[in-house]
Amino acid sequence: MTPTKKQTILLVDDEESLLDIVGSVLEAENFNVLLAYSVDKGIEHLNNTTPDIIISDITMPGKNGFDFFAYVRSLPHLQHVPFLFLSAHSDSESVVAGKEMGSDDYLTKPVDFHLLLSSIRGKLKRKEQLSEAASYHADKMKNEIFRLITHEMRTPLTSILGATEMLSDSQNSYSQKELTEFLQMLQNSSKRLNAMVDDFLTATKIESGEISREMEIKEYRISPFHIVSRLVTDLDYQLTHHRVTVENTVPDTTISVHMFATHIENILRRLIDNAVKFSKPDSTVIVGLHDNDGYVFSVQDFGVGVAEDKRSVLFQKFGQIDREKQEQQGSGLGLYIANNLAKLNGGELWFESDEGKGSTFYLKVPKSA
């Protein structure tokens, strides 16, 4: 049987006698203990190892415990490591300050070893639970990416390869109509692949914060009617394929908004595309705009709607409902991206739905001051 690996505790305190005593008690409890008589020495330990938990005094010569906490939390690989303060300052102001910084616990001297050990074990147990949850979500993410690669990306690739092989065979002769259909299939499959790659890149930029640096939120004069008209034209193939029409009821006028204009079009494209995909054949998607403490776009479909118990997943990453039943295509990132873009711009995205009758999505865009 493989022996259980000892968990490592980094203990930082300028009182050498206390450090030795606490260190001995923790070692007796089967912990591996790293001792540091100053913050600088603690940082040296962190350069060589990642402890399972950190315990630090506050008042020390040079850098203090608050400085050390700020340093630890500035390092991405230490964000998950519990940090406990162990201080002689037992007044409420010091305790509140330590906890409001974001520390996992604040214990006072003289050391109550039963309380210290219970806090350490509790924090380590919680850390293990969070690690298991993170692993679960990571595995789920891997499965979703694997699904995308094996199905969503493979389907258009198969169409592209099949069409090019047939077109390159000199023994085949095709009419102009057949050639046009081949080219249209190649174009649509390429667009589908490009859209999925674009979704992945956009989602990555959202999560890394890079997209915020690319944005330029300011006053824009836009023509929402012409934006919607252009989007509908771009969706011509999807509209024909799903036998759906779009009614553009947006007023033909210009409005002043305080939002990155490119993102308005991006969000509306995703909402209209989504409405078309979930509409019933021979139905209509209605796009509107009204003024309600901000400009509110509405995209209404008369499709399948969303069940009450499944609405919470719509804005989640890879959030798709009844994928097999609805034969959905796409990355499952569309509404996740749309919702995040709206929030980043100070806007709002929400929806109403009646299962079996359809849904209406709303995008609220801030007005210019």
- Tens of pLDDT, residue by residue over 258-298, are 999 899 999 999 999 999 988 999 999 999 999 988 999 99
Q: Which of 96-100, 138-142, 166-170 has the lowest mean pLDDT?
A: 138-142
Q: For residues 294-315, give the mean pLDDT.
A: 88
Numbered ranges of CATH 3.30.565.10 in the chain: 215-365
Write down the pLDDT at residue 175. Answer: 82
Q: pLDDT confidence of 149, banded at 50, 70, 90?
A: low
CA 186 to chain centre: 32
Write down the pLDDT at residue 1. Answer: 45
Q: For residues 139-159, give the mean pLDDT.
A: 69
Strands of 53-56's sheet in order across:
32-36, 8-12, 53-56, 83-87, 105-108
Per-residue model confidence as pLDDT tens digits over 178-236: 888 878 778 877 877 887 888 888 888 888 888 888 887 788 999 999 999 999 998 88
- The rounded percent of the chain whose pLDDT value lies above 90 is 52
Secondary structure E strands in the chain:
8-12, 32-36, 53-56, 83-87, 105-108, 219-222, 244-248, 255-258, 283-291, 295-300, 348-354, 358-365
Nearest to 300 by CA among 284, 286, 289: 286
Numbered ranges of CATH 3.40.50.2300 in the chain: 8-134
Per-residue model confidence as pLDDT tens digits over 16-52: 999 999 999 999 999 999 999 999 999 999 999 999 9
Q: Decide if pLDDT at 324 tops 60.
A: no
Q: Looking at domain 8-134, does it have CATH number 3.40.50.2300?
A: yes
CATH code, 215-365:
3.30.565.10
Write down the pLDDT at residue 320. Answer: 65
